[in-house]
Structure 1
């Protein structure tokens, strides 16, 4: 005994081929719609990220502290902690919107540039 399903009974190869070619003609439109959705999604992600970014403008001649990337938190009673910030350094030149060149307090220039995300204003006492 064999029962065929409605899907097998209603299948027509000629109509199926017509529908497949029709779908192939629409594939470019579907790709364009997907690209538009992707661009809109990326724009939402950028807006969300930029809403949380704090602008830290730094001018030439100001003093800053830079983050110590070798900072190791101290554990225990008798260990001496490494400082999280080091400096002060003087802003020698503003290279870009968030990029600066620093110099040591004695006037010696540092070779690399620093992002203002890794700097903190230093207020002289």
Structure 2
């Protein structure tokens, strides 16, 4: 029943149900067949077959429209996200703290430290990847993403 519900619920991105995109027609719920509804009692077999053929003819156009709607929805979602994201950028020589959750250098727990450091940015690569070094000048083994770092002020 859960799968049926999923396939018969219109998606936000396409404004169509997966069932209608596959078969070109609205789904008839099992409850409509068990309990006589107007849709079941007033059906004419010939008209129904003719309507199904028409729906199949229009199916490709319906899929193209839903594909365009989905692309527009993805574009709007991307634009919404990019307006609100804050880019972090550090320069070589700046001091940063590293998230303990990412490095797991110290034991974690409810009362464990959230940040560790300070570290100095030794090398700044593109896409927010940084090479860090300790205050003594020893390089940390791997690169760190900007989302796991925050600026440290003395």
User: Where on the TM-score scale, by shorter chain, does this alignment land: which range?
Assistant: 0.7 to 0.9
Q: TM-score, normalised by structure 1?
A: 0.74
- Deviation of residue 17 (structure 1)? 3.2
3-state SS of the aligned residue for 1:93? strand
The residue correspondences of 1:28-39 to structure 2 (distance < 5 A) are: 28-39=60-71
CA RMSD of aligned residues (A): 2.1
Q: 2:77 aligns with which of 20, 25, 45?
A: 45
- Distance in 1 (alpha carbons) for counterparts of 2:89 and 2:78: 21
- Deviation of residue 12 (structure 1)? 5.3
Ranges in structure 1 where 5+ consecutive residues have no aligned partner: 75-81
- Deviation of residue 64 (structure 1)? 0.6
Provide the residue aligned with 1:120 in structure 2.
Answer: 150
Which has the larger strand fraction?
A: 1
Aligned length: 110
- Distance in 1 (alpha carbons) for counterparts of 2:80 and 2:48: 45
Ranges in structure 2 where 5+ consecutive residues have no aligned partner: 1-37, 102-106
Higher RCO (CA-CA < 8 Å; seq separation 6+): 1
The residue correspondences of 1:43-82 to structure 2 (distance < 5 A) are: 43-69=75-101, 70-74=107-111, 82=112
- Deviation of residue 19 (structure 1)? 2.7
Provide the residue aligned with 1:111 in structure 2.
Answer: 141
- Deviation of residue 85 (structure 1)? 1.3
| Structure index of larger Rg | 1
3-state SS of the aligned residue for 1:72? coil
How has the CA–CA distance of structure 1 residues 47 and 71 changed in structure 2, closer, same or farther, with 3 Å as cutoff? Answer: farther
Q: Deviations over 1:31-57 (max 9, x none)?
A: 111111222222222223223321111
Q: TM-score, normalised by structure 2?
A: 0.62
